[in-house]
A = this chain, B = another copy of it.
Amino acid sequence: MSAQRTAPPTVYDVASEAGVSIATVSRVLRTPDAVREGTRDRVQAAIRTLGYVPSGNARALAGKRTGVVGLLLPGFDVVPDERPDLVTDGGVRVVDDRRHVTQPFSSNLYFDEVLRGAETEAWQRGLALMVAAGRGSSRDVIVNDVAGRVDGLAVLAQTVPDDLLEHVARRIPVVVLADDRRSHGFDSVSVDNAAGMRTLASHVIGRLGIRSLAYLAGPIDSPDDMERAAGFRQALADHGLTVADVRVVHGDFGRARARELATTLFDGGAVPRGVICSNDQSALGVLDAAGARGLRVPEDVVVTGFDGIDAGRFSAPPLTTVHQPMGELGRAAVRAIVDRFERREGPPRAVRLPVEVLLRESCPPAL
């Protein structure tokens, strides 16, 4: 009823209870049709009365296959929330939340979606999913720990250093997410950053006819940012512009920093007619700055982001962006791993997932 009292029953217990050999018990579990009905019933009865649950570890050890895939994510932020009390009544805190004091519940829904996608795909393929967040100093331990238990491993970009990854890849298939590391010899699943940004920027420049632009980039070491910047440059070239025609500013993908930079930008004389940001968080910061400066979006300045985070749907105005299929990223990762089970040899493969440009009020289809 509550916790188990003695050592869990094993095949041996079931076997003797049912008066058969352990091999037969195993067969009842794996290949029931290979056992006579009467025998099978007796074994199943024994399983019930004993409360037998087969040890997945022993099975994996004997069977050379775990049926589990691993997913390594960067650390989750633990955000202890601080909220003002209004009234306390019956032990339940009551908060005046009309100003949305409550934080967005999570800062990285991005990973949640990847996780969900991976879980879904794994389930459909009869695999279990083992998740771990690769934080802190114990990362090596975690990675080895997980790697030693699974048939394949999906790793979110920059979660794990290359050498560790290579080490692990000698044991099981490894696929890298959101970072095309074919050059490093890994399979990868990523998103078409360049095409997405190119399409969006082309919309701004070509269709809306905006040629006075600022580009708010991310941290220099971000592979995502590099690809997006490349897409942006292509769009410029497509329309006879060069980077020289654009005010380029480097942020850190964060909202606060973006607000600062945009404030400087807007105060610095000629306000650009459009601000292209390399991610949504930055774009939200730009919206903040525009609001503070009294600039209307999109009438005075259009603003675009990249990612498709939820907050962008609810911002004022709603944010035009390039939406990444995060759930699909997770699914594709599991698929890539399973592919490798069959195709143990062969060159690394890179899956590129399509993105979608979502035109919302901050940079509408037409002005």
Residues of A that sit less than 8 Å from B by CB: 1-5, 8, 48, 51, 53-61, 66-68, 75-76, 78, 83, 86, 89-98, 100, 102, 104-106, 109, 112-113, 115-116, 119-120, 123, 126, 128-133, 135, 138, 142, 144-149, 166-173, 185-187, 192, 195-196, 198-199, 202-203, 308, 310, 313-314, 318, 322-323, 326-327, 340, 343-348, 354-361, 364-365
Which residues of B sit under 8 angstroms from A113, Cβ to Cβ? Answer: 105-106, 112
Q: Which B residues touch A149, using CB under 8 A?
A: 55-57, 60, 68, 128
Please determine whether A357 and B148 come into contact, CB atoms closer than 8 angstroms. no
Question: A51 to B171, Cβ gap below 8 A?
Answer: yes
Contact check, A120 vs B58: say whether CB atoms are below 8 A apart: no
A313 to B95, CA, bound (A): 14
A105 neighbours in B (Cβ, 8 Å) = 109, 113, 308, 310, 326-327
Identify which of B1, B98, B131, B361 contacts A318 (C-beta below 8 A): B98
Extra 8 A-B pairs, beta carbons < 8 Å, given A68-B130, A94-B203, A129-B130: A4-B172, A76-B119, A86-B359, A90-B199, A115-B131, A128-B149, A129-B131, A310-B310
How distant is the Cα of A340 from the Cα of B4 in the complex, in angstroms? Answer: 10
Whether B59 contacts A55 by the Cβ 8 Å rule is no
On whether the beta carbons of B195 and A90 are closer than 8 Å, the reply is yes
Q: Provide the bound-state CA to CA distance between A135 and B135, in Å.
A: 31
Contact with A166, one of B1, B106, B128, B187 (Cβ below 8 angstroms): B1
Contacts of A327 in B (CB 8 A): 105-106
Q: Which 9 A-B pairs have the closest CB atoms?
A: A56-B149, A51-B170, A56-B148, A1-B185, A92-B199, A97-B358, A57-B60, A112-B112, A94-B357
Q: A168 CA to B203 CA in the complex, in Å?
A: 57
A348-B2 contact in complex given A198-B90, A199-B92, A310-B105, C-beta closer than 8 Å:
yes
Residue of B nearest to A29 (CB): B144
Query: Bound state CA distance, A54 and B61, in angstroms?
Result: 12
Which of these, B58, B89, B119, contacts A61 with CB under 8 Å?
B58
Is there an interface contact between B97 and A347, defined as CB atoms closer than 8 Å? no
A98 partner residues in chain B, CB cutoff 8 A: 318, 359-361, 364-365
Interface centre among A55, A97, A340, A355 (most CB of B within 10 A): A97
